[in-house]
Chains A and B, each alone.
Chain A
Amino acid sequence: MKIGVFICHCGENIGKTVDCHRVAEVSALMPGVAYAEDYKYMCSDPGQNLIKQAIKDKGLDAVVVGSCSPHMHEKTFRKACSSAGVNPFMVEIANLREHCSWIHEDVPSATRKAIDLIRIAVEKVKYNEPLIPIRVPVTKRALVIGGGISGIQAALDVAGAGYQVILVEKEPSIGGHMSQLSETFPTLDCSQCILTPRMVEAYQHPNIKLMTYSEVENVEGFIGNFKVTIRKKARKVNEDLCTGCGDCIQKCPIKKVASSEFDEGLIKRPAIYVPFPQAVPNIPVIDTAACTYFKSGKCQMCVKTCGRGAIDFKQEDRLVEEEVGAIIVATGYKLYSIDKKPEDNIYKGYGEYGYGQYKDVVNGLQFERIASASGPTSGDILRPSDKKPPKKIVFIQCVGSRDESKGFSYCSKICCMYTAKHAMLYKHKVHDGEAYVFYMDIRAGGKMYEEFVRRAIEEDGVKYIRGRVSKIYEEDGKLIVKGEDTIAGEAVVIDADMVVLATAMIPQENASKLAQLLGVPYDKHGFLQEVHPKLRPVETSTGGIFLAGACHSPRDIPESVAMASAAAAKALVLFGSDVLEREPVVAKVNETTCAGCFYCRKACAYNAIERKVLKDRNGKFIKEVAYVNSSLCQGCGTCNATCPSKSVELVGFKDDQIYAEILALAEV
């Protein structure tokens, strides 16, 4: 092997502390080195040409460049060498700048170190082998998990670019939490008025395949090539036959059997139902736990009513397999359950606020329904217990948020704004009403957000009290709210008619289970983790899987929409190429020596190691060995260090390469 060594002065950056000429002289004497030279700027055009020329003139087949960090110019030099006919993976970089000249002052010792670094690289490159980048095809279809505003936006963007999208929603309708909201801050736009056209657009889009009442059951594969199994839960209503007329719902004899999910339990719904009138698709679902037929085999009123014969009691769950290239996760949030009931509450909760105990203590989403024109009170602010307009409402912020002792350390971000909105909506509807807000800090960062809160305080006369509430109890039909005003430094007691708790946002149910299925990390609260908090906020550490909306962290609608579009853009970047090229630094198995212990499988964080059966030419079983799926392998090399027989090796960082580096430092 003929190795060329090229030492860069980097102007004075390296040259000042390292005697580059001396390093080149010593390098030329190293075994295997056929040529060595130093130059002022190796990365410049003349510098690169110098390398290319030497490759041609001296017939070099490996190159070592002593220059800046490989993170800086490894690609540059690989490309230059590749254009001169040397495989890019036959190039090694010795970091003479960041790891030597910039951190040392003494020229002799820095020069000695530089020579060592070159020797390490020279010894390693002797064991390098020419590699070709791995190419994998890309399936240009996307899966969007979650049909809230984030999922809808992401699906519309990907579909709008001309690619197929499968939009999976676990509820019977898309729309998510946004469809439950009354008005949105800071413009007080009606939420449904701006959302429902989007829902319909997603439903009718030729590129979007909508799968409601469905859940992702299994995910296999890797970037560009995912195989997804989706469970289509049985609606017991034939989607192809149903016209959405709603006769069955009218005729269902058990009108008030289960609490309405959409109306946050404020009212009851029948056994066959659509979540809300504008549901997309407008196809009912039978709640088999509530339906008389599924209990006793009787009734069948809906079957008799349906002129289309769409009711199908025998319908079963179906598993649908889809192939996609990118996955956008938009599973959203739910509210921290502050219910005192122990069976469905794993959190410590706020028993002292009496949620679940007093009917007139509601959470933020329940108040949205009360204030919504499509809600149970048709938009009149009436308290749940006696349906009378409350004259005094107390809003409490940070219930669960920013409170590690009882809830979570993080800020739920949207509550300051929606509480101001709630108070405002209340004041607009109940003119003689009084609204009090207990807050810790007002966090109103965002366009027109601070102004919105000021408007609530100054124009609508909402009274903000800085402090926490310690207890709420009922007395003479009033809710006595005991708190403190930390600015005035005194205790506050308010006899309220209704209390609204701004409870913390937490990840949707089973979000962490889904994350495990996808191989995406999540934080201790269950929010999914991005790969880089600053520069790659929508990508995950698993290639081809992107995040949108509140599944990542609490965020409001505009932020969710922006994140969804960003995730869609990332998916589209992926779809921009027919094949993916990636560094061939992946593990390889020596099938001859592999004993099939599969310790490597346990060590692999990417499920990249599979079992492979070896057979002889007669089809007789020989043994089972490990097989590395190079598309899944990320190249960490943990399997390599784990393997007892050294049968799996990480290409580019093989044992003999690293031993060569270590021995380059040995005193011979």
Chain B
Amino acid sequence: MEDKNWEPKVVAFVCNWCTYTGADLAGTSRMKQQANARLIRVPCTGRIDPLFIMKAFEGGADAVLVSGCHPGDCHYNSGNFHARRRWIFFKELLNFVGIDSKRLYFSWVSASEGKKWVDVVNGVIDAVKLEGPFLKYKNLTREIELPVE
């Protein structure tokens, strides 16, 4: 697994209205960024089940990024507040099950913050590159041979 050509894999869960659109804006503005993030679009960060994040780690993600509308700006009024509250609990749980919570990132990026999105993505990728591949979970899943689905 210690691959010299290792490139980090970042799975990003983003809400449709703010961060996805903000990422679109980064694209329209041709703001270059590292190509390691894969976005999964959900309507709202409130839709994100903590198990999605576990599943992403299980699938080999080196980091997971969750991003939505700024607090108070949620397209669905309060979905991001639910997400934020879940995050507070889930972070503790992550540490408990042995996943370094440093692998999970949370940010608010609005539809007009293309630049911020680029900074967030690059920041996460740079941080993961420093941390190196996230092998702990991967090795564990190999050991107990969890079925993929």
Contact = CB atoms under 8 A, between A and B. Distances in A.
Given A103-B27, A641-B49, A667 B60 contact: yes
Contacts of A636: 43-44, 46-47, 75-76, 79
Given A103-B31, A637-B47, A638-B79, A658 B60 contact: no
A421 to B, nearest CB: 37
B21 A655 contact: no
A663 B59 contact: yes
Interface string B56-84: 10111100000000000001111100100
Contacts of A440: none
A326 interface: no
A99 B59 CA distance: 22
Contacts of B23: 98-99
B86 interface: yes
B143 interface: no
A605 B77 contact: yes
A99 B39 contact: yes
A636 B82 CA distance: 11
Contacts of B48: 641
B129 interface: no
A583 to B, nearest CB: 10
Contact of B35 (A113, A637, A667): A113
A659 interface: yes
B78 A605 contact: yes
Contacts of B35: 100, 103-104, 106, 109-110, 112-113
Contacts of A117: 38
Contacts of A97: 27
A69 B24 CA distance: 7
Contacts of B38: 113, 116-117, 120, 665
A48 to B, nearest CB: 22
Q: Report the interface size class on chain A.
A: 35 or more
Contact of B47 (A102, A112, A606, A653): A653
Q: Report the interface size class on chain B.
A: 35 or more
Interface string A624-668: 000000000011111011100000001001010011011101111
Contacts of B42: 637, 653, 658
Contacts of B46: 603, 636-638, 641
A102 B28 contact: yes
Contact of A99 (B24, B43, B60): B24
A541 interface: yes
A637 B61 CA distance: 24
A665 B59 contact: yes
Contacts of B61: 665
A659 B59 CA distance: 10
A665 B9 contact: yes
Contacts of A104: 32-33, 35
Contact of A658 (B20, B39, B52): B52
Nearest to B54: A662
A506 to B, nearest CB: 21
B26 interface: yes
A71 interface: yes
A638 B68 CA distance: 13
Contacts of B75: 541, 636
Contacts of A640: 47, 49
B148 interface: yes
A116 B10 CA distance: 12
B4 interface: no
A655 B79 contact: no
A585 interface: yes
A635 B82 CA distance: 15
Nearest to B31: A103
Contact of B55 (A98, A603, A662): A662
B148 A663 contact: yes
A322 interface: no
B47 A641 contact: yes
B16 to A, nearest CB: 8
A642 to B, nearest CB: 7
B32 A103 contact: yes
B127 interface: no
Given A99-B27, A636-B79, A665 B56 contact: yes
A521 interface: yes
A120 B56 CA distance: 13
B40 interface: yes
A321 interface: no
B40 A641 contact: no
Contacts of A667: 59-60
Given A103-B33, A117-B38, A659 B55 contact: yes
20 contacts: A69-B27, A95-B39, A98-B27, A99-B27, A100-B35, A102-B28, A103-B26, A103-B118, A104-B35, A105-B32, A110-B35, A541-B77, A636-B44, A637-B44, A658-B40, A663-B59, A665-B60, A665-B61, A667-B60, A668-B148
Given A641-B49, A662-B11, A663-B59, 10 more contacts: A98-B27, A99-B39, A104-B32, A120-B38, A605-B76, A636-B43, A638-B47, A659-B149, A666-B58, A666-B148
Interface of A: 69-71, 95, 97-100, 102-106, 109-110, 112-113, 116-117, 120, 521, 541, 585, 603, 605-606, 634-638, 640-642, 650, 653, 655, 658-659, 661-663, 665-668
Interface of B: 7, 9, 11, 20-21, 23-24, 26-28, 30-33, 35, 38-44, 46-49, 52, 55-56, 58-61, 75-79, 82, 86, 118, 148-149
